[in-house]
Amino acid sequence: MDGLTAIAFVLEAFEQRHPTPPANFRDYTGTSARGPDHDGNYIVSFVWQRKDSHHGADSFFEAMVSGWNAHTTVLLDTPLDDFHPEDFELYRSAPARET
């Protein structure tokens, strides 16, 4: 397993718990993957950053994925009820430049 595969498993877990996220939600989120650790596990975090934050992005969903059998354990699951786009920084990437 690699980090991108771990992200795919965590995305599946997120979508099972949040099948209809708020409109444009993904424009305000980023992804962080760490691992594998000494046991072969990956930690994947989905992050957002409030405009009034003084310390950077915060995880709102985090899970551990076993590199051996892909078992996914959710470690953090923040309710999305209070998500209001005007309170968050955009994470959307700039459009690709044509060459």
Q: What pLDDT digit, counting tens, does each position of 60-80 carry?
A: 999 999 999 999 999 999 999
Gap between the Cα atoms of 51 and 96, Å rounded: 25
| Percent of the chain's residues with pLDDT above 90 | 81
**Extents of the domains making up the chain:** 3-87
Each residue's pLDDT, cut to its tens digit, for the chain (99 residues) gives: 999 999 999 999 999 999 999 988 999 999 999 999 999 999 999 999 999 998 889 999 999 999 999 999 999 999 998 899 999 999 865 454 555
Residue 70 amino acid letter: A
pTM of the predicted model over 0.85: yes
Place of tokens 């959307």: 92
